[in-house]
Chains A and B, each alone.
Chain A
Amino acid sequence: MSIKNMTEEKNWSGQKLVSTDYLLFEAPREKHFMTGSEVLKEAIKRCTVDASVSYPITPQSEAAHLIGELWAEGYVGLYFRGENEFGVMSEVQGCAMAGARTVTTTSGPGTLRAMENFPTWSGTRIPCQLVLMARGINSPLTIQPDNLEVSFLLETGCMIWYAENVQELFDMSIAAFTVAEKPDVHVPIITAVDGFFVSHTRESVMLPADDIALHPYDPYASPLPPIDSEMPPGRFLRDPFVMKSNYISYATHASWQWEVRSAVERSKPYARHYLQGLVHTTGDEDAEIVFVACGTATHQAKEAHRELAKLGIKSKVVKLRTIRPFPHQELLEATKNAKYIFVPEFNIVGWLDKEVTQSLYGKTEAKIVGRPRVAGGMSMPAEAILREVFENTNVKGA
Chain B
Amino acid sequence: MSVDIYKINPEFRDIMPQEIIDLEDNATWAGESVEKRGINDLTDKKEILEEHSLCAGCPEAAALRYILAALPLPEETIIVNSTGCTSLMFPHIALHTVHSMFGNQNAVASGIKRTLDWRFPDKTKDVVVLAGDGATIDIGLDYTLQSFFRQEKITTICFDNEVYANTGGQESGSTPKGQVFKMAPKGKVFDKVPMWELAVTSGCQYSVKLTASAPKKVAKVLREAVLIARELGPTYIHLYTPCILEIGLAANEGLWEMKEQDKDRFADFKYVSPEAEAYLKECKKEGLL
A and B touch in the complex (CB under 8 A): yes
Per the 8 Å Cβ criterion, residues 56-99 of B in contact with A are 75-78, 80, 83, 87-88, 90-91, 94-99
A50 partner, pick from B5, B115, B143, beta carbons under 8 A: B115
Q: Are B53 and A91 within 8 A (Cβ)?
A: no
Give chain B's interface residue range (CB within 8 Å of chain A): 35 or more
> In the complex, what residues of A have CB within 8 A of residue B107's CB?
82-83, 86-88, 90-91, 94
Q: Does B114 interact with chain A (Cβ within 8 Å)?
A: yes
CB distance from B193 to the nearest CB of A (A): 19
Q: Is the CB of B101 within 8 A of A117?
A: yes
In the assembled complex, the Cα of A238 lies from the Cα of B146 at a distance in Å of: 24
A398 an interface residue at 8 Å Cβ cutoff? no
Which of A3, A94, A120, A232 is the one whose CB lies under 8 Å from B112? A94
Which listed residue (B5, B113, B150) contacts A232, Cβ 8 A? B5
Contact present for B118 and A3 (CB under 8 Å): yes
Contact among A78, A238, A240, A244 with B114 in the assembled complex (CB-CB below 8 Å): A78
Interface string of B85-129 (1 = CB under 8 A from A): 001101100111111110010011111111111111110010000
* Contact A230/B53 with A3-B118, A50-B115, A78-B118 known, Cβ cut-off 8 Å: no
Q: Which of B114, B121, B122, B125 contacts A229 (CB 8 A)?
A: B125
Stretch at the interface among A96-104, A190-198, A309-317, A328-336: A96-104
Nearest neighbor of A82 in chain B, beta-carbon distance: B107
A11 contacts the other chain (Cβ, under 8 Å)? no
What is the interface of chain B mostly: helix, strand, loop, or mixed? helix
> Given the complex, which residues of A lie within 8 Å of B111, measured CB to CB?
51, 53, 90-98, 100, 102
The 4 A-B residue pairs with the shortest CB-CB distance in the complex, in nearest-first order: A94-B111, A90-B107, A98-B115, A90-B104
CA separation between A82 and B152, bound complex, in Å? 12
For A117, what are the chain B residues with a Cβ–Cβ distance below 8 Å?
A: 101, 104
B6 interface hit (Cβ, 8 Å): yes
When C-beta atoms are compared, the residue in chain A nearest to B4 turns out to be A232
Instruction: Report the Cα distance A227→B120, complex, angstroms.
Output: 13
B142 near A: Cβ within 8 Å?
yes
Per-residue contact bits, chain A 124-144, to B (CB 8 Å; 1 contact, 0 not)? 000000000000000000000
Q: Does B278 sit at the interface, judged by CB under 8 A? A: no
Q: Does B1 count as interface, using CB distance less than 8 angstroms? A: yes
A80 to B107, CA, bound (A): 12
Chain A contact-residue range equals 35 or more
Closest-by-CB residue of B relative to A93 is B108
- Residues of A near B114 (CB, < 8 A) are 51, 78, 80, 94-95
Q: A100 contacts B119, CB within 8 Å?
A: yes
Q: How far is the CA of A244 from the CA of B5 in the complex (A)?
A: 26
Q: Most B CB atoms within 10 A — which of A93, A100, A228, A241?
A: A228
CB under 8 Å from chain B, chain A span 41-96: 50-51, 53, 77-78, 80, 82-84, 86-88, 90-96
Compute how far the CA of A98 lies from the CA of B117 in the bound complex, rounded to whole angstroms.
10
Contacts of B75 in A (CB 8 A): 229
Contacts A229-B76, A229-B77, A238-B97 given; does A94 touch B125 at CB 8 Å: no
A102 to B114 alpha-carbon distance, docked (Å): 12
Contact across chains for A229 and B101 when beta carbons are under 8 A apart: no
On whether the beta carbons of A244 and B53 are closer than 8 Å, the reply is: yes
The 0/1 profile, CB within 8 Å of A marked 1, for residues 145-177 of chain B is 010001000000000000000000000000000
Residue ID in chain B nearest A96 by CB atoms: B111
Is the CB of A31 closer than 8 A to any CB of chain B? no
Contact of A83 among B97, B113, B143 (CB under 8 A): B143
Task: Tell whether, in the assembled complex, residue A50 and residue B6 are in contact, meaning their CB atoms are under 8 Å apart.
Answer: no
Within 8 Å by CB of B91, from A78, A96, A99, A244, lies A244
Q: How far is the CB of A240 from chain B (nearest CB, A)?
A: 5
